[in-house]
Amino acid sequence: MRFFADSGPTQTRMALFLTVAMTAIIAAVWAFEYSGYAPCQLCLEQRKPYYIAIPILATIWLVTVAGLRGPWLRGALAITALCLLATAAIAAYHAGVEWGWFEAPETCGAGITGEASDASSLLESLSSSVPPKCDDAAGRFLGLSFAGWNVVASLPLAWLAAHGAFAKAS
């Protein structure tokens, strides 16, 4: 089975491309966030698979370039594919919530509740800020929200990662 074979230039190139692409996606998300688009709870959940896959793939890619032989890079590509499928699933659910197809989780846009105790001014400021609701898309481009675009971006990347995990090492 190819999955357990040594990785080669195909896997090395694929890992580099995926690391750069996923890092660019996260950088774009952060740029939108810091330019005024506050993320909701589901937005933040969509980022977690990226935060898992990027360091794993980048680290294994670096040690492979340094001379590590074996199926390690193939395994990292497989983990990346699973992470990208996970973020696509969360994003598809989020897009469905935005379109009203699914019920939003109770934690989305609930705000901070509770009574102030010792640090009352801090707690008052926290309780007055309400995170965005998950069912309210921050914006749409070509009819898709950020969640919809995450599905569009992550599914082809998941396919590439899976293909890299099982491709010939040539």
Would you write out the chain's pLDDT as a tens digit for each of its 170 residues? 566 667 777 888 888 999 999 999 999 989 888 888 888 888 888 989 999 999 999 898 888 878 777 788 888 899 999 999 999 999 999 888 887 887 877 777 644 444 445 555 555 555 555 567 777 767 667 877 888 889 999 999 999 999 988 877 76
Residue 143's contacts (CB-CB under 8 Å, 6 or more residues apart) are none
CB 60 within 8 A of CB 80: no
- CA-nearest of 43, 52, 47 to 78 is 52
Gyration radius of the chain's alpha carbons: 19
Q: Where are the alpha helices (DSSP H) in 99-145?
A: 120-128
**Per-domain residue ranges of the chain:** 2-166
